[in-house]
Amino acid sequence: MRDPRRTAVVTGASRGIGAGIARELAAAGFNVVVNYRTATDRARDVASELREEGVDARPLQADVTDREAVAQMADSVVEDFETVDVLVNNAGITIDKTFREMERQDWDRVVDVNLGGMFNCTKAFYDEITAAEHGRLINISSVVGEQGNYGQANYATTKSGMFGFTRTIALELAGTGSTANCVTPGFTRTPMLEKVPERVQQKILERIPLERFAEVEDVACVVGFLASEEAGYMTGQVIGVNGGMAW
């Protein structure tokens, strides 16, 4: 159902899954804030594409690890849009190494972006989500958080950490009518997957019963449903979109 004049903030929306989610929410009638860290031109392009849906959409730069920048982003969004109904914590990074090779800085950086960023953004928009009639917090985790993955001890840890956060915030939001859920995409065709060597991609493909990687639209439509008014009785859930990958 088209959902006019509600506003969604999607972190890391200049490309990949975040841009796909931004498109899905704009098509559903949400005004959309396209957050990004470095890719100004791409974020502008995404926002202007979204405006073709007849909604308001703006690119907003803020490194999610920078609390001050995130707080400023929140102030500016509230000033422009008045309410924030949906926050999608999508921004995430990988720094892949076997644990033997992994340095503390590789661990800290991934934790800082994937978990620290989720903390900062949720903190900054929490009051808005709580006050919204159908507030929605949606965290983008990964199948790797459920299953682990060779060379991704840092990343897998952050993605599992999102489960506990989501389930807890769901309890704390429950009295307000707002929900918190987590989506765990499987391996999805984005620049993040392109960083994985071809030989490893082939091995991953062999483990996917549906015999293909996800497209961003496969993930975005599930986020679109969770953001909708109709999804109001779903909260504290971890929802796999992974082509049937088993534990």
Residue 146 is a binding residue for ligand NAP (CB under 6 A): no
63/85 with CB nearer ligand NAP:
63
124/140 with CB nearer ligand NAP:
140
Part in contact with ligand NAP (CB under 6 A); list of ranges 50-58, 62-70, 125-133, 198-206: 62-70
Residue 235 is a binding residue for ligand NAP (CB under 6 A): no
Task: Using CB under 6 A, pick the residue from 140, 173, 180, 220 that binds ligand NAP.
Answer: 140
- Tokens, residue 73: 């982003």
Residue 142 is a binding residue for ligand NAP (CB under 6 A): yes
Pick out residues in 102-121 that bind ligand NAP (CB under 6 A). Answer: 113, 117
Shortest reach from residue 228's CB to ligand NAP, in Å: 20
Q: Is 233 a catalytic residue?
A: no
Query: Could you report how far apart the first and last alpha carbons of the chain are, in Å?
Result: 34
Cα Rg, the chain, nearest whole Å: 17
Residue 243 is a binding residue for ligand NAP (CB under 6 A): no
48/176 with CB nearer ligand NAP:
48
Residue 240 is a binding residue for ligand NAP (CB under 6 A): no
Of 36, 126, 150, 155, the catalytic one is 155
Task: Using CB under 6 A, pick the residue from 95, 193, 204, 221 that binds ligand NAP.
Answer: 193
Torsion of CA 53, 20, 127, 7, to 10 degrees: 0
HSE-up of residue 31 (Cα within 13 Å, Cβ side): 13
Task: Using CB under 6 A, pick the residue from 31, 90, 178, 179 that binds ligand NAP.
Answer: 90
Residue 183, beta-bridge partner list? 140, 239
Residue 17 is a binding residue for ligand NAP (CB under 6 A): yes
Q: Total residues contacting ligand NAP (rule CB under 6 A)?
A: 31
Shortest reach from residue 78's CB to ligand NAP, in Å: 19
Question: In whole angstroms, what is the distance from residue 238 CA to residue 111 CA?
Answer: 20
Residues forming the active site:
155
Q: Which residues bind ligand NAP (CB under 6 A)?
A: 11-18, 35-39, 63-65, 90-93, 113, 117, 140, 142, 185, 187-188, 190-193
